[in-house]
Amino acid sequence: MRIVIAGGHGQIALRLEQLLAARGDEVAGIIRNPEQADALQQLGVEPVVLDLESASVADVAEQLRGADAAVFAAGAGPGSGAARKETVDKAAAILFADAAVRAGVRRFVVVSSMGADPTHQGDEIFDVYQRAKGEADAYVRGLGSLEWTILRPGMLTDDAGTGLVRLEAHTGRGPIPRADVAAVLAELVEGSSTAGLTLELISGPVPIPVAVKAVAGE
């Protein structure tokens, strides 16, 4: 498979890219900072320098053309203000989805946030973030030409992955290592059995391949 990942130098994306490259997929990571290119190349990943805050749909579609799947794993990051929650977590996600449609990429996976809700109230930065992610998710859900899956992890940790999770429509809150999020994404992107599902993810008792098959009804 050829898989293009937005936010290619993010903590989850780097782990995902390593997994995909190791299993033989052709992986491209979209990054804004050219200084991050070496880190991707060392993983066997093609770096694509492109700023999703200023790029056009046509620019992004050009990079997506010929891909089998696209993953939106970009984020403004914890140190950013409310404005970048709108331009990255919402607008860039919508741009990436529109570009996937234009490029004819069907499989589309979004790394969202537990509690993301377009009607979320409040003016704190985290409130703006939850609303922005919710609005982006709602937009993706409305694109009938995409086989989308939205993944909403719980509290992210840097603990070692266990390979054991709870992956359901509603899990309740809980922690999840970034390594396990990446491993779930690697399973989700491989096929479209979970298309049309919004899934929450926390640590749990079920091996990841089993959890993905179960939620897909297999």
Report pTM: 0.96
Cα separation of 20 and 12, whole Å? 12
**How buried is 66 (Cβ within 10 angstroms: 0-12 exposed, 13-18 middle, 19+ buried)?**
exposed
- Calpha distance 27→21 (Å, rounded): 6
CA distances from 20 to 17, 132, 197, 201 (A): 5, 28, 22, 20
pLDDT value at residue 93: 97
φ/ψ of 187, rounded to 5, equals -70, -45
Between CA 125 and CA 141 the distance in angstroms is 24
Answer yes or no: is pLDDT of 148 > 80.
yes
- Residue 207's pLDDT band, with cuts at 50, 70 and 90, is very high
Read off the tokens for 101: 């449609």
Going by C-alpha positions, the residue among 1, 63, 52, 5 that lies closest to residue 182 is 5
The pLDDT, as a whole number, for residue 45 is 98
pLDDT digits (tens, 9 = 90+) for 121-140: 998 988 999 999 999 999 99
Q: What is the mean pLDDT of the chain?
A: 96
Looking up tokens 């749909």 gives 57
DSSP per-residue codes, 159-189: SPP-SEEEEES---S-EEEHHHHHHHHHHHH
Question: pLDDT tier at 78 (50, 70, 90 boundaries)?
Answer: confident
pLDDT in tens, 8-54: 999 999 999 999 999 999 999 999 999 999 999 999 999 999 999 99
Contact yes or no for 96/60 (Cβ under 8 A): yes
